[in-house]
Amino acid sequence: MKLLKSFIFAFALALSLGSFSTTVTAAAPIEGINLVLDHVAEAIKAIDAGESNEAVREHVLASLRESKEILGTEMLEKNRLKASRSLKKARTALKKGDTQKAKDLLGEAEKKFADLKKFI
């Protein structure tokens, strides 16, 4: 009887833990990619409009936060990290005041994040 109780308890525990998956509860990867692309496009528009570096950095930081919500396969994760590096480099360029380099890096990041859609 004790063995049966232990088995039922372990089975119930495994069943309850298995029902909550992070990939199921997270937003769909395509939605996350679209959010990141929107923020990157806003950052590029802000640079073109001549807004302050701080305003542009806010868009870059928002896109970095949203990119962390993109969950998927191992290949998607690997390429997401590569795309995020471009955003981080753009943020660093903005800190140094180099808006042209930041704009180029944001364009590169936009292309990389758009390419992530093929890994879904």
The model scores a pTM over 0.85: no
- Look at residue 93 in the predicted model and tell me its pLDDT: 95
Per-residue pLDDT tens digits for 31-51:
999 999 999 999 999 999 999
Per-residue pLDDT tens digits for 54-99:
999 999 999 999 999 998 889 999 999 999 999 999 999 999 999 9
SS3 state at 26: coil
DSSP 97: T
**Domain ranges within the chain, ordered by starting residue:** 25-119
- Look at residue 33 in the predicted model and tell me its pLDDT: 94
Domain 25-119 top-level CATH class: mainly alpha
Q: Is 51 left (phi over 0), alpha (psi -120 to 50) or beta?
A: beta
